[in-house]
Chains A and B, each alone.
Chain A
């Protein structure tokens, strides 16, 4: 029987209703998500039966919003890599309440992202060719290998961090679980009895996974960027694409983590565990990343704009033309770089609610940036498009593509909702007696001050 702190018991009590049964409000939410997913599945059905002509993709813009979504989801999956991996190795205490949310974002986003490439592929009945006839020289093969490894790594990392909790749920007398759920937790707990040997083994393997997941994450998004970087096209054939994409991924991952933390804190009244200081610290991380990402963006576009090569100039011109991509370009840079920096830098604005809104705008701006990477380059081939069919000249998103995009987002939220029924969103085993002090102080109306040693 594992020893749980007073704070841990509070966590169990807060999340007990979620783990024990599903209430009407939850069913309504799940049905709402399923409705959106159903709309997406209808779009998929049309895509399979009628053909890809129901999308906006044609012979010039062969990759559209699906690939942008793929990059976006793999990008936000970095929440786990940064928080869990990096901060784990730095042994930062304050990360503990939020690691589970971060690792869940990683695993779920890495599941949803590749689904979007599948939507783009013309012959789903031949996917096994990627294994049978794989060519190692192709960046797509690199991507298949990297992402499958990353997914397995993320799952292992999440599982290792949850074993102790599964043991707690298995043994808990406060939780009134159904029989099958208790049996499931017993299986998942792998007979964890909190012995010294078991504790050591989990600690060692978690450290190993944390060390491995960082280079893995760097490889995954670098490889993804090289799908574009290894072509000859302007806007893609850039030497900084590898680090640029990795930085953008960590940045957008941090933003999604802030949003998720704020939503769960509000929804489940977790003010005792997810403190203002968590938002501040993640905000500082976001500030540094925003500055780095902004520097890369500035360097990229300044260099492209300053040079005289025709193919590149044709593309850059579109970003500074208000009638073409100028408005989106401005939004993605102001909303994605300037706004988060201001919100974090100004102390009066550095509040959880405002940080969450700024993060939401930033995440949207990052999605627009992925779109601006994929589509305008394809609309600007070396040989100018000589076609009269408007859908071959300019890409426009069809309702089928929107339905599948929102279906993907709804699937992400649905997986999260289901995960929350099998594990507490705050790790019970990680919440220690330090948290007990905070709860005491909050309950007694005192402002929690950061002790000097932290």
Chain B
């Protein structure tokens, strides 16, 4: 058979080429994921967009700068994966939740959802209505992740996606997580949630730089939970739930310094635990939680206040409390 003329099309070769390209393109798109490949690199400061913005220099002069030279810096510093696994040195985060003050205002829930760009149905912080036994009085029970010192979730993770840090926090690396959900089966406190479908987030959120300390953006097929906002701690701020609570329910602090604060009051951790009879939930499970509760004694509000002005679908949640024999 004579060799083909260079200009003549070789149909078989073209077919194979286009199929290979097609497969490669499909693989590239599939590997890309939804929006990650379309994210502009936020640190690229070489280009010129032609758009100018007026800024005040440190000398007091007004200067015009092209927006292409501006570097986007997220609100909180995003650390490397290694630093995120190490933790903030010298700290031992602890939380104290005052059950005597909680009236189910749910400002903590909405603040956490807003900060982490979570949809309304997804709650990393849940407010439960607890009644320990038939004759006991019901009380509102805000529940974060307990960041246990003996975490059953970390024990069972097959790929080291969830880990315990030196500052006491248990975080999740959603770039490592394979979504087996063993941690969810192992956690006795129902604190972890799963992304069952692709999260619906705007592009600028999808393109935010990710670290296990920010836990943003959510990724499909991975597990997530309350993280005690270590990115806020690095910036010297309290987690949003602590700041948002109108009744000062959440105290957040450092066990090494023996101090906790709810934004208004600052107390010694050991003092408040001793004076108010602080305890940990389900101590007998041996998980050693880092969240302490102050018993619902001398309450600020009657428990019914938590049901007032509550939308019906939220009220529905608590209809079985007190009825279980």
- Closest chain B residue, CB of each to CB of A55: B196
- Closest chain A residue, CB of each to CB of B197: A51
**CB-CB under 8 A for A52 and B196, given A129-B159, A141-B158, A144-B158:** yes
Pairwise interchain contact B180-A120, C-beta atoms closer than 8 A: yes
Chain A contacts of B197 at CB under 8 A?
50-53
- Closest chain B residue, CB of each to CB of A314: B324
Complex CA–CA separation, A387 to B318 (angstroms) = 8
Q: How many residues of chain A are within 8 Å of chain B by beta carbon?
A: 44
Q: Which single member of B129, B178, B189, B198 contacts A126 (CB below 8 Å)?
A: B178
CB under 8 Å from chain A, chain B span 144-167: 152, 155-161
CB under 8 Å from chain B, chain A span 124-159: 125-127, 129-130, 133-135, 137-141, 144
Chain A contacts of B198 at CB under 8 A?
51
**SS class, residues of chain A in contact with chain B:** loop
Q: C-beta contact mask, A33-62 vs B, less than 8 Å → 1, else 0?
A: 000000000000000001111000111101
Complex CA–CA separation, A227 to B177 (angstroms) = 18
**SS class, residues of chain B in contact with chain A:** loop
Q: C-beta contact mask, B227-251 vs A, less than 8 Å → 1, else 0?
A: 0000000000000000000000000
CB under 8 Å from chain A, chain B span 122-157: 126, 128-129, 143, 152, 155-157
Pairwise interchain contact B185-A63, C-beta atoms closer than 8 A: yes
Is B88 in contact with chain A by the CB < 8 A criterion?
Answer: no
From residue A24, how far is it (CB to closest CB) to chain B in Å?
34
Is B320 in contact with chain A by the CB < 8 A criterion?
Answer: yes
Complex CA–CA separation, A133 to B178 (angstroms) = 11
Pairwise interchain contact A232-B285, C-beta atoms closer than 8 A: yes
**CB-CB under 8 A for A134 and B185, given A122-B180, A122-B221, A388-B317:** no
Is A378 in contact with chain B by the CB < 8 A criterion?
Answer: yes
Most buried by B among A52, A127, A385, A386: A386
Pairwise interchain contact B221-A123, C-beta atoms closer than 8 A: yes
- Closest chain B residue, CB of each to CB of A126: B178
- Closest chain A residue, CB of each to CB of B184: A62
Pairwise interchain contact A378-B185, C-beta atoms closer than 8 A: yes
Pairwise interchain contact B159-A122, C-beta atoms closer than 8 A: no
Pairwise interchain contact B152-A140, C-beta atoms closer than 8 A: no
Chain A contacts of B196 at CB under 8 A?
51-53, 57-58
Chain B contacts of A141 at CB under 8 A?
158
**CB-CB under 8 A for A123 and B157, given A58-B196, A232-B152, A386-B317:** no
From residue B111, how far is it (CB to closest CB) to chain A in Å?
20
**What is the interface of chain B, defined by CB distance below 8 A to chain A?**
31, 121, 126, 128-129, 143, 152, 155-161, 176-182, 184-186, 188-190, 192-198, 220-223, 282, 285, 313, 316-318, 320-321, 324
What are 23 inter-chain pairs, A to B, with CB distance below 8 A? Answer: A51-B197, A52-B221, A59-B184, A59-B192, A62-B194, A63-B185, A120-B180, A121-B221, A122-B220, A122-B221, A126-B179, A127-B178, A129-B176, A130-B159, A138-B155, A138-B156, A144-B158, A231-B186, A232-B186, A232-B188, A382-B189, A384-B324, A385-B190
